[in-house]
Structure 1
Amino acid sequence: MTDSASAAGSAGDPNVCYRHSDRRSFVLCQRCGRTVCGECQTPAPVGVRCPECMAEAAAAMPRQKSPLLRAVRRGSSTPVVTYTILGLTLGVFILQFATQGTVTRALGYAPPLSLIEPWRMLTVSLVHSSGIFHILFNMYALFVLGPLLEQLVGRWRFAVTYILSTLAGSIAVLWLAPASFVVGASGAIFGLFGAFFVIQRRLGGNTAQLMVILGINLALGFFLPNISWQAHVGGLIGGAIVALIFVRTRRRQQTPLQIALLGAFAALLVAGTILRFALAG
């Protein structure tokens, strides 16, 4: 620690450490030329440096952000929302096994509970059936399609597409299969397919292969047991409508209109839920 005695000692004897007046040394800081003892020396590319010069050099160095911060910053190409959804869904899938179905019963969608526990209409996309193929197909589709769509529309728009597609799929189940219990992200995944189809058509891309994939998967929902084709159809339509709003309000000055239209569509979905119970009651 530097004090008046140390300063006086170093001033009177150039062979004394500038920080420790009782320690003789003949080693100089390569940067400032002050005498430093063994304790105060830090090896440098050339010679050694004193603590003050090391601190100044460290302060002058550009601070590098962590990989996580670099990934989430604006302008990064990392599909943060896609990877976050993947991580959450896989984590919940592990909890489903760990809790022996408690999480499944708590987060799956039961249409009669829509007004009492409305979060189920969204959390349904986080839980899957016990078979590995259900979550494997959905997460593989998200892993392949998610980064493409997220890069096209941006993070918050991608998140909105996923959420509203999930909600649209749940409302389709509410109207068309009100006595069922549904789990899975299929409604959201089909919503991403619908959104990607609309955007590709708008950009003039070839959608023939996408139409074949959509047709096959929709058909499977009608012929294979324990598959909610209602959620597939609802999510597909919901995602397509959201994407249509995006492509019709692409200009920066249309952002307020875009947000208003998305809010109106979300309100329409909520109204559809309330109307279903009003008609049933």
Structure 2
Amino acid sequence: MTDRPDAGAFCYRHPDRQSYILCQRCGRTICPECQTPGAVGVFCPECMKEQRANAPRTKPAILTRLTGRGRPVVTYSIIGVTFVVFLLQLIPGLNVTQYLLFQPVYVSTFAFEPWRMLTSVFVHSTGFIFHVALNMYTLWIFGQLLESLLGRGRFLALYLISGLAGSVGVVWLAPPLTAVVGASGAIFGLMGAFLVIQRRLGGNMTQLLVLVGINLVIGFIPGTNIAWQAHVGGLVGGALMGLIFVETRNPRQRTLQTVLIVALTIVLLVLSLRYVFFPLA
């Protein structure tokens, strides 16, 4: 008998390591060291050994060798794309920032460019390099943790939906002409999801709560020019995503998990239409 808050949330091969990932075949919990990515999900060492024994011998694909087992490929890809976009923003005449930033007015009867709710996550202020640097450093920290816990597909969904939720927060809490750029909403979503998951796994949340609290307070300081509305929206959206992942972690609940994620996305999209339902004067 174990006194852990959730014995099923520990790797069956390493009982001292918490994990959120289950083997695609046998359903046992496995830590990042024990995971082998498959076409869908990951496999534990025993199931992978059995699969390889029954499969024809082939040379591993170049992409497989590059990505490696357990590597946070999605996290690194988002960071890479964000820095490429930042460099493009610096080229005069391209107007990348203007084409990708978000304002609530872009989902209204005056203009309808809803994709900006996501594209704004990949652009940052060019006059303050620490904006993109700090966001990507925070993503690097939380991305590695969450991508190994959730898997690549779930992590990507978490990041994008949190970014969408951040834009919805701007729609409802900021003036309609407020222009926002940056990944802060998505990153606050990662924090929100991690808070929920840590609570479920029984981990220590004190330091994370302090970090989230400090960042939220900074956004309310006059003159900082920070879109605290995106922080709040992203935090709430990420927490809801974390709750969905936690409550549907059983492999038999995969369909329910997908349905709930789609439902949350639809709700966010409907909420973003505030100025379509109630046009600006």
Give the TM bin, normalised by the shorter chain. 0.7 to 0.9
The alignment's TM-score, normalised by the length of structure 1, stands at: 0.74
SS at match of 1:77: coil
In structure 1, distance between residues paired with 2:58 and 2:106: 55
- Give % identity: 51
Q: Select the residue among 60, 84, 94 that pairs with 2:77.
A: 84
**Pairing 1:163-242 to 2, within 5 Å after superposition:** 163-177=160-174, 178-223=176-221, 224-242=223-241
**Aligned-CA RMSD value:** 1.8
User: Which residue identity is paired with 1:186?
Assistant: S
Name the one with the larger helix percent. Answer: 1
User: Which residue identity is paired with 1:155?
Assistant: R
In structure 2, distance between residues paired with 1:63 and 1:257: 37
User: Which residue identity is paired with 1:69?
Assistant: T
User: Which residue identity is paired with 1:187?
Assistant: G
The alignment's TM-score, normalised by the length of structure 2, stands at: 0.74
**Alignment-derived partner of residue 65 in structure 2:** 70
Q: 1:276 to 1:77 in 2, by over 3 A?
A: same
In structure 1, distance between residues paired with 2:66 and 2:144: 13
User: Which residue identity is paired with 1:174?
Assistant: V
In structure 2, distance between residues paired with 1:231 and 1:170: 6
Shift of 1:175: 1.1
Contact 2:169 2:232 in 1 (8 A): yes
**Pairing 1:22-171 to 2, within 5 Å after superposition:** 63-66=59-62, 68-72=63-67, 76-99=69-92, 102-114=95-107, 116-130=112-126, 131-171=128-168
Shift of 1:64: 4.5
Number of matched pairs: 219
In structure 2, distance between residues paired with 1:276 and 1:147: 37
Larger radius of gyration: 1
Shift of 1:276: 4.0
SS at match of 1:98: coil
Structure 2 unaligned blocks of 5 or more: 1-56
User: Which residue identity is paired with 2:182?
Assistant: G
In structure 2, distance between residues paired with 1:236 and 1:176: 14
Query: Could you list the per-position Cα deviations for residues 255-274 of structure 1 after superposition, in whole angstroms to 9, with x for gaps in the alignment?
Result: 00000000000000111122
User: Which residue identity is paired with 1:90?
Assistant: F
**Alignment-derived partner of residue 8 in structure 2:** none
Runs of 4 or more off by more than 6 Å in structure 1? none
